[in-house]
Amino acid sequence: MSTTDLNGIRIREYQEKDLSKIEKLARNSFNNDMDVFWAVRNLNRSDKVFVAEIRNSIIGVVEIDIIRLSNGIHSQIGYIFVHRMYWRQGVGTLLLQTALRYLEKRNIAGVWAVTSPENIAARRLFRKFNFVEFSDKKVLKRFLSSRDIRKLLRALVYWTGDIILYLKL
């Protein structure tokens, strides 16, 4: 799967040979070593990863994982990150759009994500695609069993105070 937009940004599937380029990208994109570590480590663990590139330079990544809950197969957007030079230029939008198209074709029930309250750019991006925000994990009791909530929060690597985002597909 590969698509190119009008600005020459190409979205394609991740390949193992991309690893070192993505590690550099992660160092550029994140303000802390923990996110760099996990974003890179998850590349080969995720169920699907798409990269955005322009003129053979990788400028963005989205990581997707499948979560099996009792009410169906769900997915999570793990890390989605873009080179600072390309922030607010639609790269994150293209990556999330590609991920959602991929998931819709696989009959995924819903898509989950988690971010910190301070990550306004990520929250804005997810809201653009009609994700609903939950600032309190207790709200999940309306939709999921206690067992599924524990499984979901573990998969999302939820920390107290994080914002949980959800989109029903």
Question: Phi-psi category of 21—alpha, beta or left, where left has phi over 0 and alpha has psi -120 to 50?
Answer: alpha
C-alpha–C-alpha distance, residues 134 and 166, integer Å: 8
* Tally of structural domains, the chain: 1
Residue-level pLDDT, tens digit, the chain, 169 residues: 666 565 789 999 999 999 999 999 999 999 889 999 999 999 999 999 999 999 999 999 999 999 999 999 999 999 999 999 999 999 999 999 999 999 999 989 999 999 999 999 999 999 999 999 998 888 899 889 999 999 999 999 998 889 999 999 9
Which residues does residue 39 pair with via DSSP β-bridges, in sequence order?
A: none
From the list 145, 135, 134, 138, the residue with the least C-alpha distance to 167 is: 134
- pLDDT score of 2: 62
Which residues does residue 64 pair with via DSSP β-bridges, in sequence order?
A: 48, 77
Full-model pTM? 0.92
Instruction: Say which CATH number the domain at 114 has.
Output: 3.40.630.30
C-alpha–C-alpha distance, residues 70 and 55, integer Å: 43
- Domain hosting 85: range is 2-168
- pLDDT score of 137: 85
End-to-end CA distance of the chain: 20
User: What are the angstrom distances between the C-alpha of 152 and each of 56, 145, 149, 166?
Assistant: 36, 10, 5, 12
C-alpha–C-alpha distance, residues 138 and 83, integer Å: 34
